[in-house]
Amino acid sequence: MEKRPTMHKQVTVADVARMAQVSKATAARALGDYGTVGAEVKQRVIEAARRLDYRVNELARTMATGRSGTIGVIVGDIENPFFGLAVRGVSDCAKAAGFDVILSNSSEDIVEERAAVDVMLAKGVDGLIVAPAMMRGTAHLEAVLKRGRPLVLLDRDVPGLDIDTALVDGKAATKEALRLLVEAGHRRIGYVTATEAPSPRYTGLSDITLSTVLNRIAGFLEGAAEAALPEPERYIRFGASSGVQGQGIIGDLLSAPDRPTAILASDSKIALDVMRAARSAGLVVPRHLSLVTFDDADWTSAVEPAITVIAQPTYELGREAARMLIERIQGERMAPRRCLLAAKIIVRESVARLEVQDVKHEPRRKTSPANQK
């Protein structure tokens, strides 16, 4: 009669079957809602399960059926609001279809990504959604397919990997943003990204390891050529991740004598770093420096001045990736699809016409000479 607090054993179908006085098979049928069970017996089993507080063991079910009802998502950085929103798109779509989502961070590191893929496969996910950290060295992704699990790429393309992919048209978006700046009279326009490259400077398209960056830079250069901007690649910067190093790269760019008059930031974190650097250089946005950034982060519309952004359909991106994956999981056979979503520019207040801008502004005007190095 006494209740031991260390009753760790869980209730199984066998227990339920015993109480309902039926076989294990019948009890499982009644609870799992498959096969055929008599109405009266079914009632008895369900009642017994309720009394015992029975819960299925999903692991055992997965073992037996081969289906886990779980999809795995691997992104570079969950804290990045871009991926946060994309993951919500995935989750909402997956949940609606009865799937659970498990999430992993690769820290934009291909080794961690490989490990994460292994773990997820070992845990028996039905399919994977990956934002690959690199365009090359993706043998581990091919291995997923070879193991018979569907895979969908999120936001980033891998040339040569012919599978479903959900992408944003970054090339068109960048060209459009560039046109906006050019039409405002800007000729020296910077492009700043956190992605690492052999050098902080532009050294050629072939040194870029991420399709997103590649497309945007291509769009940037193409747009610059059409507008006949001189040496557009001079103002491209890589590796401007948060931290001292990234801050230095941006700071140097903004303090050069022929500094750009406008910056295109590749994500909202970079935009913040640009704003910090501008501030410590004594530059006011948009009076001395125009700014456009990828991603409509929440703060961009609340600050003064509100920031003009390239709003990517991030939530939809995740949703479409999940939709495609689930179709594959459910056995649809069809040619690989690529879902290319358009970004939209939201004009706010961070871009000024060049003739209004105070380009020759002396940096650190507010600081006294004594404080200047």
Partner DNA sequence: AATGCTTGTGAGACCGGTTTCACTTGCATA
Partner DNA sequence: TATGCAAGTGAAACCGGTCTCACAAGCATT
Contact 325, 129 (CB under 8 A): yes
Give the end-to-end CA distance of the chain in Å, rounded to a whole number.
Answer: 82
Task: Return the residue of 47, 50, 51, 57 that touches DNA, per CB under 7 A.
Answer: 57
The residue range among 53-61, 187-195, 228-236, 352-360 that interacts with its own copies, by the rule CB under 8 A, is 53-61
Residue type, 68: S
Site for DNA in 63-102 (CB under 7 A): 63-65
Residue 122 CB, nearest distance to DNA (Å)?
9
Site for its own copies in 298-337 (CB under 8 A): 298-299, 301-304
Q: Which two tokens stand for residue 115?
A: 């490990």
Contact 152, 129 (CB under 8 A): yes
Q: Which two tokens stand for residue 275?
A: 């704003």
Residue 176 CB, nearest distance to its own copies (Å)?
25
**Cα→Cα distances 77→91, 191, 199, 210, 294, Å:** 16, 21, 22, 15, 16
- Compare residues 94 and 184 and give the one whose CB is closer to its own copies: 94
Residue 151 CB, nearest distance to DNA (Å)?
20
Q: How far apart are CA 63 and CA 57, in angstroms?
A: 10
Site for DNA in 1-40 (CB under 7 A): 9-14, 21-26, 28-29, 31-32, 34-40
Q: Which does 370 bind (CB under 5 to 8 A by kind): its own copies, DNA, none?
A: none
Cβ burial of 225 (10 Å; 0-12, 13-18, 19+) is exposed
The residue range among 39-47, 49-57, 157-165, 193-201 that interacts with its own copies, by the rule CB under 8 A, is 49-57
- Compare residues 285 and 324 and give the one whose CB is closer to its own copies: 285
Q: How far apart are CA 337 and CA 167, in angstroms?
A: 11
- Compare residues 9 and 333 and give the one whose CB is closer to DNA: 9
**Measuring CA to CA, which residue among 282, 265, 303, 304 is closest to residue 358?**
282
Q: How far apart are CA 217 and CA 214, in angstroms?
A: 5
Contact 334, 80 (CB under 8 A): no
How crowded is residue 16: how many other Cβ atoms within 10 Å of its Cβ? 25
Task: Return the residue of 279, 287, 353, 365 that touches its own copies, per CB under 8 A.
Answer: 279
Q: Which does 26 bind (CB under 5 to 8 A by kind): DNA, its own copies, none?
A: DNA
**Cα→Cα distances 20→35, 95, 111, 180, Å:** 18, 33, 52, 72
Which residues of the shown chain bind its own copies in the complex (CB under 8 A)? 6-8, 10, 55-60, 62-63, 68, 70, 78-79, 81, 84-85, 87-88, 91, 100, 102-105, 118-119, 121-124, 147-148, 242, 269, 272-273, 275-276, 279, 297-299, 301-304
Which residues of the shown chain bind DNA in the complex (CB under 7 A)? 9-14, 21-26, 28-29, 31-32, 34-42, 54-57, 60-61, 63-65
